[in-house]
A = this chain, B = another copy of it.
Amino acid sequence: MINKLVSKIQKTGAPIVVGLDPMMKFVPEHIQKKAFAEFGETLEGAAEAIWQYNKEIVDHIYDIVPAVKPQIAMYEQFGIPGLIAFKKTVDYCKEKDLVVIGDIKRGDIGSTSEAYAVGHLGKVKVGSNSYYGFDEDFATVNPYLGSDGINPFIKVCKEENKGLFILVKTSNPSSGEFQDRVLQDANKPLYEVVGEQVAKWGEEHMGDSYSYIGAVVGATYPEMGKVLRKVMPKSYILVPGYGAQGGKGADLVHFFNEDGLGAIVNSSRGIIAAYQQEQYAKFGAENFAEASRAAVEDMRADIAGALANR
């Protein structure tokens, strides 16, 4: 799957992943109205609204980006109906040949991580049959529990030709509280030690040119991205925090390798709610998905420009 991701990034020229994180305040009123007319102001109504919203965005961007990243929390908040919308979104994006990164940030003790891995990336056995539960292509995972929380995910990735992005340095303001603390024995911050471990897992689990064990490093910490790029030369870096969280194209250059590869940058509300920004207001709420397409094109140009000028 990492080979497919790399090849799609090369083909589109867009090291971009669209975060499908539908908050109700992003969903245009005409879509909400229609969904509520059919299902009422219920969880089912909300789920229908976010699904229709996602679908229209995907229809307008699937040919110019390699991947999408639905954040499962935004669906989980609507309970079971929300998770049905998550699953529909995953399936629809795969039909459109997009690589789907499930932003699930799971992680637990061994037997439990195995269940998550099976549910999100693999197949679960039921009697003599087996079934895919959610069937994303990649998943994000949390390293706090150490190797035996990660290994079951790696095992399923190997069997199913899928991949991981492990949290190393997250994009949020307080990520440093624990991640930046210097470890006495290593004389390095925790995020770097986690990065070294990701690099080790990565080297052991290679695709053609990159590993299918990648890392999450926030665009909001470009200097740390520079260090981590060198620590994990073969790992793809998923870079959240561009746009709404404050990251800019120029901040991103150090996340890429000399080959122009090695990073994929996420933008969520900057793309899916582009029509709500002054810059794209001319599209109007009716044409929100065209605004999203324009925002993708501008983001591609921003990154390409920054890479050309480095």
Which A residues fall within an 8 A CB radius of B?
Answer: 21, 23-24, 32, 36, 41-43, 45-46, 71, 73-74, 76-80, 82-84, 87, 105-113, 115-116, 118-120, 124-129, 131-134, 142-149, 167, 170-179, 181-187, 190, 193-194, 197, 240, 245
Contacts and interface: CB of A to CB of B under 8 A. Distances in A.
Nearest to A182: B184
Given A126-B46, A133-B79, A181-B185, A144 B172 contact: no
Contacts of A108: 71, 73, 105
Contacts of A181: 183-186, 190, 193
Contact of A79 (B41, B119, B167): B119
Nearest to A128: B41
Q: How many copies does the complex hold?
A: 2
Contacts of A172: 109-110, 145-146, 148-149
Nearest to A39: B126
A128 B40 CA distance: 11
A175 B21 CA distance: 31
A77 B170 contact: no
A228 to B, nearest CB: 16
B146 A78 contact: no
